[in-house]
A and B are shown apart, each in its own frame.
Chain A
Amino acid sequence: MSSASAPASTATIDLRGIHHRFGELVVLTGVDFTINRHERLGIVGPSGCGKSTLLSAIAGLIQPDEGTVAIDELTTAEQRLRRCALMPQRDLLLPWRTAIDNAAIALENRGMKREQARERTRPLFERFGLAEFEERTPAELSGGMRQRVAFLRTLMAEKDILLLDEPFAALDSITRSGMQEWLLSALEQEPRTVLLVTHDVDEALLLTHRVIVMSSRPGRIVRTLETDLPRDRPRREVVTSPGFAHLKESALEALEL
């Protein structure tokens, strides 16, 4: 399962023999993989295959029953929690905070004064097309806007590992396409080690360097695809190219669809 096309060579996340159950239900079995620094890894699989559990285990929100999760050799849940930021499917913006105060919350969590946290967050709003939306409340933003703010909040945690758990699943397909392009350009500007969990094969292929296909429960890895697609082309050219179609066919076959 070595990767050839990763952008850097230092391994950051290392999973060995992950096995996890909820009561009698085995959700993950024999999961091993490595993610390199600033690599973007996609995980696709059917609902209930343990994708989200896997993210929780990497984030340090849970400790798997068996196996080790190491981030730069650090294996305790607390150590991992300090290295990862999680972006969930729902935007989870706090309605009593404005957009910028939502995005800056991680800084405040670390003890920074509100004003200072806002000033530090403001440039990101300008860079990522959210200028003038800083003082809006979440209720005044569209679904796509809210998801952008949620992503900025994840970025502002200033962690080198981003765990994205179906970040655009709640959006309609047109908004989702726009958000995928936006996220891709944001990540080109701000390279991070990214784990993207999704059930959308196109999304995984478009946004990541490597895609892991998981089986239905108990979740295990059934295929790994290197997505050496051109990143500088418009989306419609990429998704209609023979290379993309080939990768997609291979992923769908692994998913038994």
Chain B
Amino acid sequence: MSERPSHSTKGGMRRFLDRYAPPAIVVVITIALWELIIQVFDVPTYIWSAPSLIAKTMQEEFSDLLGHAWVTLSEALVGFFFAVVLGLAFGFLVHFSTIARRGLYPLLIASQSIPTVVLAPVFVLVLGFGIWPKVAVVALFCFFPIVVGTIDGLMGVDREYVRMMLTLDATRMGIFRRVEFPSALPQIFTGVRVGATYAAIGAVFGEWAGSQAGLGWQMLQAKGRLDTALVFADIVFITVMALGLFGLVSLVERLTIPWARKGGLT
């Protein structure tokens, strides 16, 4: 319904280009300009690196980068997993229990005024230098959008559906399983998608607070050596990781709730 009629007559390839060609062109032009400015003004490589140099560094250091990326990705995935499980569990608790809603929900909102980043060193002190302080930072980063998505999704369920289900002999659990949870899924996925983009950044923050490996650690090392191109290479890897996680969640979303794209509840 949101598409103009002319789109329906176009082929899949045409639609793909319509959608992705404009941003791709912008990216290509930006990179070209960047390269040109660096070359023309002869900027020293330790201040700012040309895309060509970054690409070369990525090629040369690829296996090293990949090894560190794997460390960061593990931290991000484990932390993200905990955030999803805890976010859903907390959301369900607040939905089902009036006590939790009145006692915990305001505190949860208030807790967001604590900058998560500053807690990273505390986690290192408590949890040591292994994977767990990073996991904790990631989980804390991702938890909030997921729990808010879950709670808002469950609270936003149309009461008329619940009334109808009550006259159709539904139990509290039946209403939750057949109406409330599915209808909250689009909003839950929105929260999970936002959380997924935070996961990689959360892992990098965790590594900055203390670590022996990972893209964040490598970045700090490269900065110390004034190896700016490697810093950029790390940024590229972190960005790709964040986009990948975002894309993965979007894919799962498309497969799980195909009906949501046709307008959701009536």
Q: Measured between alpha carbons, how far is A82 from B257 in the docked complex, in Å?
A: 32
Contact A95:B262 (CB < 8 A) given known A61-B163, A86-B163 = yes
The answer to whether B163 and A108 touch across the interface, beta carbons within 8 angstroms, is no
Q: Measured between alpha carbons, how far is A105 from B165 in the docked complex, in Å?
A: 9
Which secondary structure characterizes the binding site on chain B? helix
Q: Measured between alpha carbons, how far is A81 from B44 in the docked complex, in Å?
A: 78
The answer to whether A90 and B170 touch across the interface, beta carbons within 8 angstroms, is no
Sort A-B residue pairs by CB-CB distance and give the 8 closest, nearest first: A106-B168, A86-B167, A95-B259, A109-B170, A139-B262, A109-B169, A109-B174, A96-B259
Q: Measured between alpha carbons, how far is A105 from B158 in the docked complex, in Å?
A: 17
Contact A84:B178 (CB < 8 A) given known A92-B160, A95-B264, A95-B266 = no
B182 contact from A90, A96, A106, A157, Cβ within 8 A: A96
**A-B contacts besides A105-B165, A157-B168, 15 pairs, CB < 8 Å:** A56-B163, A82-B169, A84-B167, A85-B168, A88-B160, A88-B163, A90-B266, A93-B266, A94-B265, A108-B174, A108-B178, A109-B165, A137-B262, A138-B266, A157-B169
A110, CB-defined interface residue at 8 Å: yes
Point out residues on A near B: beta carbons under 8 Å.
56, 59, 61, 81-82, 84-86, 88, 90-96, 105-106, 108-110, 137-139, 153-154, 157, 159, 163
Q: Which residues, 139 to 189 on B, are CB-close (under 8 Å) to A?
A: 158, 160-161, 163-171, 174, 178-179, 182-183
The answer to whether A86 and B164 touch across the interface, beta carbons within 8 angstroms, is yes
- Min CB gap B125→A, angstroms: 46
Contacts of A94 in B (CB 8 A): 161, 178-179, 182-183, 265
The answer to whether B166 and A81 touch across the interface, beta carbons within 8 angstroms, is yes
Which secondary structure characterizes the binding site on chain A? mixed
Indicate the member of B166, B168, B179 with the most A CB atoms within 10 Å.
B168
- Provide a sorted-by-A list of 19 A–B residue pairs whose CB atoms are within 8 angstroms: A81-B166, A82-B169, A85-B167, A86-B167, A90-B266, A91-B266, A92-B160, A92-B161, A92-B164, A94-B179, A94-B183, A94-B265, A96-B257, A96-B259, A105-B165, A105-B178, A106-B168, A106-B169, A139-B259
Contact A109:B266 (CB < 8 A) given known A95-B259, A137-B259 = no
Contacts of A91 in B (CB 8 A): 266
Q: Measured between alpha carbons, how far is A223 from B266 in the docked complex, in Å?
A: 36
B262 to A, closest residue via Cβ: A139
Contacts of A139 in B (CB 8 A): 259, 262-263
Q: Measured between alpha carbons, how far is A85 from B183 in the docked complex, in Å?
A: 22
B158 to A, closest residue via Cβ: A92
The answer to whether B182 and A81 touch across the interface, beta carbons within 8 angstroms, is no
The answer to whether B167 and A109 touch across the interface, beta carbons within 8 angstroms, is no
Q: Measured between alpha carbons, how far is A163 from B263 in the docked complex, in Å?
A: 28
Contacts of B161 in A (CB 8 A): 92, 94
- Min CB gap A111→B, angstroms: 9
Q: Measured between alpha carbons, how far is A91 from B174 in the docked complex, in Å?
A: 19
The answer to whether B167 and A59 touch across the interface, beta carbons within 8 angstroms, is yes
Contacts of A137 in B (CB 8 A): 259, 262
- Min CB gap A136→B, angstroms: 12
Contacts of A93 in B (CB 8 A): 266
Contacts of A84 in B (CB 8 A): 167
